[in-house]
Copies of this chain bind each other. A is one copy, B any other.
Amino acid sequence: MDITRIEAAAARLAGHARRTPLLSSPFLDEIAGRRVLVKAECLQHTGSFKFRGGWSAISALDPEIRARGVIAFSSGNHAQGVAAAARAHGIPAVIIMPSDAPAAKVAGTRGLGAEVVPYDRATEDRDALGAKLAAERGLTLIKPFDEPLVIAGQGTCGLEIAEQAAEAGVTEADVIVCCGGGGLTSGIALALEARAPGLRVRPAEPEGFDDVRRSLASGAIERNAQLSGNICDAIVTPQPGDLTFPIMHRLCGPGLAVTEEEALRAMQAAFRHLKIVAEPGGAVALASALFRPDEIAGDAVICTVSGGNVDPAVFARALAM
C-alpha cells in the first residue's frame, strides 16, 4: 500500500464523492486551547466517509464481475456507503444485517436501493450465509476496512486534509482520526506520509474499546475485551486489521481514548459551533481535541468528524448535556 493506490482511488472518486469542508470556530479553539480544524466527513454522501471506500472498491472491479453485484456485512455506515456506490454504478447490492438491527438503519439501506438480508445472530452463521449468497449469485464481497481498495478510498480524505491544511497555513499538527478497524486511519496516514509529512495521524477510540491504542503501544495486535455496550458502536471492532495495523504502527502517533460523556459533549460542541451533526463514534476525535488538550502538542490540531448517522434520541441526549 502506498500513495499511488490512493491517487488512483482519487481519480475514480472525482466528481462522485464530495470534497468535504475543513471547518473551524473560534469557540472550539478557545475550548481546546489551540487552533482546531475539523474535517467534516459527516457531510459526505450517506453521512460518513464509508462512501469513499465503497466507491473505490466497486469502481475498481472488472466490469463483468461488477455487473453481478456486491455484498457486504454491516448494519451501519459501511452498509449505506456500499449501497449508494452500488446504486450509482447500476449494480445490485446485498447487505447482510442482523435481524434485530434498528428499523431506521434497515430502511435507510433499503432506501439506497440495496437488498437487505436479515440473519439471526443466535442461530445463523453470518459468514456462511454471506458465502452461500456470494457463490450463488457471483457477488463480490466488499470488506469494511481490511482491503487495499477500501483503505485507498478512505485515504482520499487524507489527500484533501493535506491540501486544506496547507491552505489554512497548517503544516505541522496532530491529525486525530476516529478509529474502528483502521481503514480511515491507515488511509489518511498513508496520504499524509506522502503529501504532508508534518501532519501526524493519531487514532481516537472510546475508553474500554481502545484496541488500536493498546496495539500501537505494545507493537502487536490486541483485542477488545468486549464488543458492545458503548454509545460509539460504529467504531467498536474486535481488533485492528491485518492490513491496517502495520500501516498504523509504522505511521501513527499514540492513540487517544475518550469517555461516552466526552463524545456526547463533542457532539453538542459540533452542533453549537460548526452546525454539523456528529454521531458518537464520529465525535471521539473532536472530543480528544477538545477535552484531552494535555495529551496533544502544537499550536493546531486537525480532527475528523467521520460520520453523522445518529438516532434523534441519542442526539437529544447530547443536546441535553
* A197 on the B face (CB < 8 A): no
Q: How many copies does the complex hold?
A: 2
Q: Which of B20, B108, B315 is the one whose CB lies under 8 Å from A319?
A: B315
Residues of A in contact with B (beta carbons under 8 Å apart): 18, 20-21, 23, 26-27, 30, 40, 42-43, 47, 84, 108, 111-112, 268, 271-277, 308-309, 312-313, 315-316, 319-320
22 residue pairs from A and B, CB less than 8 Å apart: A23-B43, A26-B84, A27-B108, A27-B111, A30-B111, A40-B43, A43-B274, A43-B276, A47-B275, A268-B312, A271-B312, A271-B315, A275-B276, A275-B277, A275-B308, A275-B309, A276-B276, A276-B277, A312-B319, A315-B319, A316-B316, A319-B319
> Which residues in B have their C-beta under 8 angstroms from that of A18?
21
In whole angstroms, what is the CA distance A20 to B22 when docked? 11
> Which residues in B have their C-beta under 8 angstroms from that of A273?
47
Classify the secondary structure of A's interface with B: helix
**A148, chain B: closest CB distance, angstroms:** 28
Closest to A15 in B: B167
> Which residues in B have their C-beta under 8 angstroms from that of A275?
42-43, 47, 276-277, 308-309
> Which residues in B have their C-beta under 8 angstroms from that of A111?
26-27, 30
Q: Which of B20, B23, B272, B319 is the one whose CB lies under 8 Å from A316?
A: B319
